[in-house]
Every structure is written in C-alpha cells, then in structure tokens.
Amino acid sequence: MKKTLIALTLLSSMTAAAQFQLNPQAGLNFQSLTQAPDGINYKAELGWQLGLDARFGDKLFIQPGAFLGRSVTAITQTVASPDGSSGSVQYEDDLIRTNLKLRTMLGYRVVDTYQFDIRLMLGPSYDVLMSVNDRNDKLNWNKGDFNSGSWNIDAGVGFDMGIFTLSPMASFGLSRAFKDNPTLNHINSKYMSYGLTIGINIGNDDE
C-alpha cells in the first residue's frame, strides 16, 4: 500500500505541466466503526475537517491531499448490573478522535465544461491518529488502545462550479482500529467514514 501511495504521488509530478489546481476545503464528517462486539453499539455523529488537495492533470488527473479532522462516534455499552441482579446497565459516551488524513487519488472528469465539471476519484489514504478522548469519561478506551494509524480506500465525487468545488467522500477502513493486545484482540472493528467538503479552485484550467 505504501508503494502504491508513493507511485501515485510521483505520477502527479509528471503530469503537473498539463494543469495544476490547488483546492483548500472545509466541511463535515461522520465516522463510525464496523463489526461492533457484543454489548457495544456504534453510531456516527457530526465532526469537522479542513485541509487542501491539489490536482495534476486534465481529464485524467492525480489528486494528493492532506486533511485535519475531528470525528465523533457515539458509543453505547451494555454491561451486567453491578448489583448482581439479572438486569443490565447501559453507558453512553462520545468517542472523539483527531486525525491527519494523507491521501492520493486517481480521478477522471466525466463532465468537463467551462462552467461545470463532475469528477470521480478513487485511491488509498492513511490516517494518522493524533488524539483520542471521551466526552463524559464513561469509556475505558484511550489513545493507547488504538493503532497509531490506519490504511483506507477513499472514493468520492467532485463537482466544480466556477471557482467553487463540492466533494462528498467515503473512506473504507482496511486496518483494525484497535491494537492487537489480550484485552482488545477480539474487537475487529475498522473505521467507516463519510464526509462533505466545500472549497475553492486556485490555479490554471485549460478550459
């Protein structure tokens, strides 16, 4: 996967002469986890992201980028009643993570006009985990319980309208979120993220 990311980045520099655009963006994200273990439920909540990407090429292009994001996942955990009765108790809290996403995508303009473009993008990304905390101190998880980074496959659609760009994206986790230790090796959850950004296009356009 690392070789793929490096190869796509090198290819981007080779196509720079054809067309170059820089795209600062900001937006929202929703991040959850897959394969919740027994007694735990995950639900994506509203988070934010900001960053920029660049496009090298024309109809076929390479799009590397970096985004800082803060995501929130609501966790509901059901445990046996502490008083020894047959009932159960639910604990609810928000798991908050800050990530730096590094990605390189291959894209193609399916609609390419002077005032309106539609782009399709696909490629690998790597999320660097920067911090983990829970809002109400009801969870036992902290940054030390999570892997420091995760590989993903990102896919999205881009809409360009003049100088403005709008991009809904999805990121499918390939790596385990939790570390492989005796207390967590039964949790095979991976990240699943959706986002929407709006930004501006800076740079030359052949059209």
Query: If you average pLDDT over residues 36-61, what whole number do you get?
Result: 94
- Report pLDDT for 113: 87
The share of the chain scoring above pLDDT 90, in percent, equals: 65
| Domain ranges within the chain, ordered by starting residue | 2-203
- Measured CA to CA, the distance from residue 25 to residue 50 in angstroms comes to 6
- Token representation of residue 149: 């980074």
**pLDDT beyond 50 at 16:** no
E strand or H helix that includes residue 97: strand 88-112
- Measured CA to CA, the distance from residue 154 to residue 25 in angstroms comes to 17
Q: Which fold has domain 2-203?
A: Porin (2.40.160)
Question: Across the chain, where does the E strand assignment appear?
Answer: 20-33, 40-57, 60-80, 88-112, 116-134, 149-161, 164-173, 191-200, 202-203
- Token representation of residue 45: 């909540």
Closest CA to 32 of 45, 40, 44, 24: 44
Query: If you average pLDDT over residues 178-193, what whole number do you get?
Result: 90
Note the pLDDT tens digit of each residue in 75-95.
Answer: 998 876 666 565 667 778 899
Q: Does the pTM of the predicted model rise above 0.85?
A: no
Q: What is the mean pLDDT of the chain?
A: 87
**pLDDT beyond 80 at 43:** yes
Three-state secondary structure call for residue 175: coil
- Measured CA to CA, the distance from residue 175 to residue 50 in angstroms comes to 23
**pLDDT beyond 70 at 3:** no
- Token representation of residue 63: 């799009």
**pLDDT beyond 70 at 202:** yes
- Report pLDDT for 19: 83
Indicate the pLDDT class of residue 135, thresholds 50, 70 and 90. Answer: confident
